[in-house]
Copies of this chain bind each other. A is one copy, B any other.
Amino acid sequence: MPAMAVLQAEGAVNAVEENLRRIDDYAARAAEQGAELLVTPELFATGYAPARVVGSDGEGIRAELAGIARRHGIALVGSTVEAAGDRHHISASLFDRQGVELTRYRKSHLFGPEEKSVFTPGNDLPDVVPLMGLSVALGICYDIEFPEFSRSAARRGADLLCIPTAVPTTGDVGGRPPELTYNAERISTLLVPARALENGVYIAYANHTGPDFTGLSSIASPYGTFLGIAGGGEELLVAEVDRLEVDRARGLNTYLTCMRPALYG
């Protein structure tokens, strides 16, 4: 049964060399533990700070990520800035174990004013590509919070969603009681496993850690349970994934066959 890994770590802003060294180090560890795929957080190589990293050399970083995949013989999901004319996208790439970029996806739901001021949203849903006997689709951060996004990928055949993310810690929202506020933890503990359950898909959700980020990266099963969930610190999650579990989960929770697309309008 193939295994996969999720890296939760702190990507220091504009410390590209140091961040790539960390990915390289964890790619080695993940491969040693038998993982065939490593998923890393949103804009990890540059650090997540939209206005400060928008001018980074995405193409150069992607070449480095391809080299890491090839060197350790492990598939890799890495997120980079993608320049297209005068526009910039937050993208994620899936490299195979030979370092070939199998697919690239541009984040289609930008989050918050800083991202929206410097980046342009993508206008295409992710491809679905084969890897490890599974069908993989990419998404980035805020994308997974919209049920339509993962539903679309599942209906197009995806059974594993790889989601680099950068979820900030819950801020002070004016003295309201904590149960009635924006709460970043609820994204990890509620929405991610709900997406897995309602679509019968695995989800690999890789977040930053450090003082400004929530942690709580996870690998969710197609039953909506956690095969692994990180705390607040640096962590490498490893779990086995199996196409047969997707079939079993969808046999028990028949959402994809019971849904009624014509009804929803």
Contact = CB atoms under 8 A, between A and B. Distances in A.
A253 B108 contact: no
Interface in A240-265: 245, 248, 252-253, 255, 258-261, 263-265
A261 B182 CA distance: 24
A193 B191 CA distance: 9
A32 B108 CA distance: 50
A148 interface: yes
Contact of A263 (B123, B142, B186, B258): B123
Contacts of A180: 221, 223, 225, 245, 248
B109 A258 contact: yes
Contacts of A198: 145-147, 191
Contact of A259 (B146, B176, B225, B259): B146
A183 interface: yes
Interface in A162-209: 173, 176, 179-183, 186, 190-191, 193-194, 197-198
Given A180-B245, A181-B252, A259 B190 contact: no
A181 B253 CA distance: 9
For chain A, give the interface size range: 35 or more
A145 B199 CA distance: 11
A182 B249 CA distance: 8
A263 B108 contact: yes
A148 B151 CA distance: 9
13 contacts: A109-B258, A145-B255, A146-B259, A147-B198, A148-B148, A152-B264, A179-B221, A179-B225, A180-B248, A181-B223, A181-B252, A183-B223, A190-B224
The 9 closest A-B pairs by CB, nearest first: A147-B147, A194-B194, A182-B252, A148-B264, A179-B225, A190-B194, A152-B264, A186-B224, A180-B223
Given A125-B265, A181-B223, 10 more contacts: A109-B259, A123-B263, A148-B151, A148-B259, A152-B264, A152-B265, A176-B248, A180-B245, A180-B248, A191-B194
